[in-house]
Structure 1
Amino acid sequence: MDTRLRLGIAITALVTPFSNDRLDLAVLERLAERQINAGINGLAVCTVTGEGPTLSPAERAAIIRTCVRVASGRVPVIAATGTNATSTTIALTLEARRLGADAALVTVPYYSKPGQKGIVHHFEQVAAASDLPVIIDDSPSRCASGLTLASLEALAPVGSILGVVHSCGEEARLTPHLRQRFVSLSSDDGSALSFLACGGDGMLSSGANVEPRLFASLCRSAKTGNIEIATALHDRLQPLIRALAEDGSPAPVKYALHVLLGTLPEVRLPMVGVDANEKAAIFAALTGLAESRRQARAV
């Protein structure tokens, strides 16, 4: 898995489809297969984009089990298992391992705002409890605390900690040692190109739900030195990225999928659906992408 994560990877933070507030596994299968067929390199499930905090234990298990079955080893399935309690995080990580996940995405503990020593011990304990590879999700804006470089250095000897997701494209702040030690992913679609150009390995993308092929191509092009192509793809995607960022994931993403695929845009509280202005922006971005494809085919 480490080798695959070093090759300009695009991982999709997969949305969770609902119908009348019930998990729709048939649509989930369809969405997962669409991602894999489009060249996405991994599926992250039960994340914030996947409305993980709203899912019951049974729903979480069904989502992981379904995506593992659909992927069938073609791409890794990464289960978000992080909470603000170490014991709960360990339990969810062990459950993800039992269900066949390839890695665990573990957030820095949120709300309780632990100090750096507590954060380091948290990840050490989670990593020690299972042989499942761990990817740290470092999102200070969501968690009210984040990992310092010193804490990342302290975690470097923990072999099962595979990588770090940066919420603000912060690859440039990493030391050469940390860049070599950890796979670095960005969860900020808007700064993906600059992140990759600074040495990042890939991205954990919510926008890839909508345009998996373009995001996968962007990552591959950037990491294989085709900067001109990567820049063109980045520019094409900017209107969509901006539209999807207006109200925060996943409501705009689900509405875009509704327009493209006819899936339901249903979200669970406290998330709400997009308003008329947001719908118009998303529709305009999708129309622009469709027109660019039409023009490309006509050449």
Structure 2
Amino acid sequence: MKEPLFTGSGVAIVTPFTKETVDIAALRRLIDFQLENHTDAIIVCGTTGEASTMSYRERMRTVEFCVEYVDGRVPVIAGSGSNSTENAVALSRDAERAGADGLLVVTPYYNKATQKGLVRHYQVIADAVHVPVILYDVPSRTGVAMAPETYAILAEHPNINGVKEASGNFSNIQKTRSLCADDLFIWSGNDDEAAAICMLGGKGVISVVANILPREMHDLIQLCLSNDFAAAGQLQLELKDFCDAMFCEVNPIPVKTALNLLGFDVGPLRLPLCEPTEASLARLRKVLSDYHLPVLS
């Protein structure tokens, strides 16, 4: 019987950069902030971590540092997806060697694989490792969506633990739950859908907003897991404006900008991502102020 890799709020943590490379000292401060505020898992080198602009060496060093520094206090899950199955296998094996507790593997972008191709892609990756694999369905970024029937096939693999669902397709999510039950666990990949997905049996969220509001996202999921959906729904509504602001431009532009506004000094975005517009910057300043967070002048 499968057990979820984690339950609760896992942060899709940003990667702090200097002009040249990963800022390990700043990453240490971010991890401290997360653990002090009860984040339930650290997801490193994902979309929010700008992994697609990092060198192979940078990615592995970042995973290794997170594993060493977290030291078993919560699971560390490494992003290891690629649009090349061979590259995804190499990334996944190296992340496992680095000590990652699990892997987050996005659907292969640009290729627009068929459902048959997606099954083969994920089975090859899962066969190559011994740690749990979380699938990642985010069609708005990849151009391909996972079908519930595809999930049902992949759920038969002992190393495939679940899916980060960011499709926004609640009909498919319900069908997936019906087909897979607890052979495939579901985490929300959209902060503003976390409570709703938990109500359908989800195990939590892999969160962008938790970079800034880790305790609130942890508390939201704990309310869900305690079946207090009235209180969870109220908190979800209270977080709605904040969630929307964190996606006023493509992730991770807003959240990384917000962290810098709060003094976390996470450095620049890497091209092709760039600084937000003046209108977005003003919106971020306002929402941080509205939530009583200490914005730098």
The TM-score bracket by the shorter chain reads over 0.9
Aligned to 2:110: 111
Instruction: Pick closer, same or farther for the CA change 1:264–1:85 going to 2, 3 Å.
Output: closer
Does the residue aligned with 1:18 lie in a helix, a strand or coil?
coil
Distance in structure 2 (CA, Å) of the matches to 1:233 and 1:263: 28
Residue 71 of structure 2 aligns with an amino acid whose one-letter code is S
Alignment of 1:1-299 (within 5 A): 3=3, 5=5, 7=7, 9-169=8-168, 170=170, 171-290=173-292
Give unpaired runs (5+ residues) of structure 2. Answer: none
Distance 1:111 1:206 in 2: 23
Aligned-pair CA distance for 1:229: 2.5
C-alpha distance in 2 between matches for 1:203 and 1:5 = 12
Following superposition, the deviation at residue 232 of structure 1 comes to 2.8
Shift of 1:142: 1.5
* Distance across 1 between alignment mates of 2:3 and 2:36: 20
Provide the secondary structure at the position in 2 that maps to 1:23: coil
3-state SS of 2:280 partner:
helix
Q: For each residue in 1:170-223, what CA deviation from the matched residue of structure 2 results, as whole angstroms up to 9, or x when unmatched? A: 332324341321110111112222222222111111111011110111111112
CA distance in 1, matches of 2:211, 2:10: 10
Distance in 2 (alpha carbons) for counterparts of 1:205 and 1:150: 26
Q: Which residue of 2 aligns with 1:297?
A: none
Amino acid paired to 1:102: D
8 Å CA contact 1:111–1:144 kept in 2: the answer is yes
Deviations 1:196-255 (A, max 9, x none): 222211111111101111011111111212223212321221121111111021111011
Could you tell me which amino acid in structure 2 is paired with residue 285 of structure 1?
V
Q: CA 1:121–1:285 in structure 2 vs 1: closer, same or farther (change >3 Å)?
A: same
Would you say the 8 A contact 1:108–1:136 is kept in 2? yes
2: distance between equivalents of 1:139 and 1:242? 17
Q: Distance in 1 between matches of 2:104 and 2:116?
A: 20
Using the TM superposition, give the Cα deviation of residue 155 of structure 1 relative to its aligned residue in structure 2, in angstroms. 1.3
| Cα RMSD (Å) | 1.6
Question: Contact 2:11–2:210 at 8 Å: present in 1 too?
Answer: yes
Q: Deviations over 1:1-54 (max 9, x none)?
A: x646464x1111100001224210000011012111111111111111100000
Q: Count matched residues.
A: 289
Distance 1:281 1:265, change over 3 A: farther
| Aligned equivalents of 1:89, 1:42: Cα separation in 2 | 22
2:158 match: secondary structure: coil
Answer whether contact 2:18 2:267 (CA < 8 A) is retained. no
Gaps of 5+ in 1: 292-299
Q: Which whole-Å CA distance do the structure 2 matches of 1:123 and 1:223 have between them?
A: 29
2:145 is paired with a residue whose SS is coil
Aligned-partner Cα distance in 1 for 2:101–2:142:
25
Judged with a 3 Å threshold, the aligned counterparts in structure 2 of structure 1 residues 4 and 32 are, in CA distance, closer, same or farther, namely: farther
Supply the distance in 2 between the matched residues of 1:135 and 1:75 (Cα, whole angstroms). Answer: 16
Whole-Å separation in 1 of the counterparts to 2:13 and 2:84:
24
